[in-house]
A and B are shown apart, each in its own frame.
Chain A
Amino acid sequence: MEDKIRHVICPYCGCLCDDILIEMTGGEISGVENACTLGARKFLDDAGNRLKGPIMRKGDEWVDISYEEAIDYAVKVLSEADRPLLYGWSGCMTETQAIGAHLAELIGGIVDSTTSVCHGPSILAIQEVGHPGCTLGQVKNRADTIIYWGSNTIEAHPRHLSRYTNYADAYFFHNAFRERKVIVVDVRKTVTAEIATEFVQIDQGGDYHVLSALRAIIRERGGVIPDMVAGVPKAQLIRVAEICRQAKFGALFFGVGITMTGGKYKNIRNAIEFISELNRYTKWTISPMRGHSNVYGSNEVFTWISGYPFAVDYSRGIAFYNPGETTAVDILARKEADAALIMSSDPGAHFPRVCSEHLARIPTILFDPYPSATTHLCTLQIPTAVNGIDAAGTAYRMDGIPIMTRRFMETVYPTDTKLMQEIYDRIRKVKEDA
């Protein structure tokens, strides 16, 4: 039997596209319409790829265990740990994130999301100088000038251009595609650079210099700028600054190309201040290109609960936040954590080597429907229902809009929310009994 389900939310990236059409045949996903390649593969690769049940490392072999045994192990490890790290949280829903934050408080652990290795520096900069942002709907209908800085959008957020910027129809334009200008700033000529009105190729690590030069030009202090700034000719910088100043409504989107390079959050601070300079003349906004489907949600939820958006350390009995000390990479690189819970994330593939080595040394409990790089490092993996396929909940789009994802498939797997609630309740009882 074939069935078509409309208005499915794609749970891949921070765009959270809400117009996906799924074709089901015989209870399995057989077709995907409207999604980009990344989103389509997320749906189509699901069948046959999931772990059948929890697996546990015992010596030199992997053994299948029951969900009950898996929960018993998780409760024991987490309730006995002195410095547990609860990391990930960007591929799960806000309901699970909230339980994670409360669990960290209960066991005196650290709760950190993948934010710390994507847009953590952006949040640090926003905490210093604020965030002149807006929703993607405003950009779609009003922006005549777009900058993608350190973001290969066509490969990382493929539908961002067609839904919100270059290729999107706009309420306030007759022919948006012809009237919009797109500026791409990157260290290499990416596929996104090829569609740009103006491509600015900078030297690796030159973001801060180029932003400072643009700020100087906007402030009419262009005379102090040398002929070349981080590989960019002065004439091009003047041209770009003029395009920005002439815009009626501009939107700068930045990727991890600028948060991960030298300077980190100071680059973002400079970018925000560049936008502030432009707002003396016209209207500009700036927003991070958030990667995981619900990484923004983790910042919202952790802030409601603890007052801090990521890297929250409860070891003192109160929430303490000091990125660089309480962030997951630092905790693992210093070999501090004595247990780890990894929720729908893959540090084995995305953390520096020293961190992965430490995860392999300590009891590491992984919640992930699929085998990943972290599978090989963990002690226990618990497969869950997949958020956006056979589990539903709230996720935050990259511009801070909460969207309810849809469950459109029957499942035999427990949701991560249900498992985390059970673990939380059991540990709470252990603590109360003690």
Chain B
Amino acid sequence: MKILVNTGRTVVQGSHVGRKNSPEYFRETSNLRLNPVDMMEIGVDDGERIKATTDGISVVLMVTSDEMIKRGTGFLPLGPYANTLVGGTTHSTGMPDFKGAEVNIEATGEKISTVGELMRHLGGLPYGR
């Protein structure tokens, strides 16, 4: 299913920006909120996982139903998971398309990467002390 993913601040995400490697930040920023009807269509329940793909790049996310979300859209708190789905084009403004990325979602049983693992995929070395 194709959806438009919107991103933004949430209180939980904002409260943990000083602890980006904490379980709270991980759970919040990897949590995609979807309309319950869309979740029924792709066959996932609250707390289950989906794979979101755009331009050949995928990231595994947890889903939560939210009736405030319009059908065909999703909300993902800003952070490294959301930005995996954002391209580097800025249309000559300096600002990438953080809002409204067109993303394909499907149910998956794959594991969600931690922030450190996500950065390892990008060429980094997780720091864990």
Interface, chain A (partner B; CB < 8 A): 37-38, 41-42, 45-46, 49, 55, 57, 60-62, 116-117, 120-121, 124, 152, 155-156, 158, 187-190, 204-205, 256-257, 259-262, 264-265, 311, 323-325, 327-330, 332-333, 346, 348-357, 360-361, 370-373, 375-377, 381
Contact = CB atoms under 8 A, between A and B. Distances in A.
Contact of B116 (A55, A259, A376): A376
A38 B14 contact: yes
Nearest to B100: A204
A356 B14 CA distance: 21
Contacts of A323: 92-94
A37 B68 contact: no
A360 B100 contact: no
15 contacts: A155-B10, A264-B93, A324-B93, A329-B94, A333-B90, A349-B79, A349-B115, A350-B79, A352-B83, A354-B88, A356-B80, A356-B119, A356-B124, A373-B79, A376-B119
Given A62-B129, A361-B123, A120 B4 contact: no
A381 B21 CA distance: 16
Contact of A330 (B15, B90, B122, B125): B90
Interface in B79-129: 79-80, 83-84, 86-100, 115-116, 118-120, 122-127, 129
A353 B57 contact: yes
Given A117-B96, A373-B119, A377-B122, 6 more contacts: A156-B14, A204-B100, A327-B93, A349-B17, A352-B86, A356-B122
B53 interface: no
Nearest to A194: B68
Given A323-B94, A329-B90, A357 B69 contact: no
B31 to A, nearest CB: 14
A179 to B, nearest CB: 28
Contact of B115 (A328, A329, A376): A376
B27 interface: no
Contacts of A152: 8-9
Given A120-B95, A204-B6, A333-B88, A188 B122 contact: no
A178 B123 CA distance: 55
B10 A376 contact: no
A265 B95 CA distance: 9
B71 interface: no
A49 B18 contact: yes
B119 A360 contact: yes
A327 to B, nearest CB: 3
Contact of B120 (A158, A189, A376): A376
A155 B124 CA distance: 31
B96 A329 contact: yes
A155 B99 CA distance: 17
Given A49-B18, A62-B127, A349-B83, A121 B99 contact: no
B12 to A, nearest CB: 9
A371 B127 CA distance: 8
A372 B20 contact: yes
B2 interface: no
B28 to A, nearest CB: 12
A357 B127 contact: no
A156 to B, nearest CB: 4
